[in-house]
Amino acid sequence: MVVVAKIGIRGKGKVRTQEGIYDVSPSDDEWFVVSGPPDEGSGRVRYRDEQDLLEIERRDAKLSIHFRPELEHTTFELNGHVYGVATTDFGDISIREGSRPVVRGHGTVSGVRLLAVDADLAPVERELAFGFALRLGAQDKDLWDEDHPLLARWGL
């Protein structure tokens, strides 16, 4: 199942799944609200660049992914399952449960495209996609700031 998340101007965005297109809007407390079908309701997602922490909250699930340096293993737990997250330094997204791939995707110019999402993570697929879009966007900004310190100082 393909999930596409796009970050728009002023923090708004969209997430597209096979079921439809859902709006994403910023809330006042650094969270983004990801709408969903009426029977599932909305979810929330937040990425904290300083801590490299992605948080997702839904009515039936809550998870945190604290990304670790490349040589350490990033893991998170959801519904009694432990998942490993590969580095996203090159724009690739890979999540595994043991040796079994459960999410596969990549960054795009304006967000991410998850090419495969296993049924285990389908309940949080919209929030996961938008969360990874936020993280990849923050990584791009950090690299830009490192390469262009004078422009970064002026907010460009």
128's enclosing H/E stretch is: helix 125-147
Question: Which of 21, 42, 40 has the alpha carbon at shortest distance from 31?
Answer: 42
Q: What are the pLDDT digits (tens) for 90-105?
A: 788 999 999 999 999 9
Name the token pair of 25: 């809007």
Looking at every residue in the chain, the average pLDDT score rounds to: 88
Q: How many domains does the chain have?
A: 1
Q: Which range of residues forms the domain containing residue 115?
A: 3-153
Neighbours of 40 (CB within 10 A): 15
Under the banding of pLDDT at 50, 70 and 90, the label for residue 155 is: low
Under the banding of pLDDT at 50, 70 and 90, the label for residue 114 is: very high
Please give the Cα distance from 93 to 113 (Å, whole number): 9
| pTM of the entire predicted model | 0.87
Q: Give the list of residues 6+ apart from residue 40 with CB closer than 8 angstroms, or none.
A: 59, 123
151's enclosing H/E stretch is: helix 149-153
Q: What are the pLDDT digits (tens) for 34-75?
A: 999 999 999 999 999 889 999 999 998 999 999 987 767 899
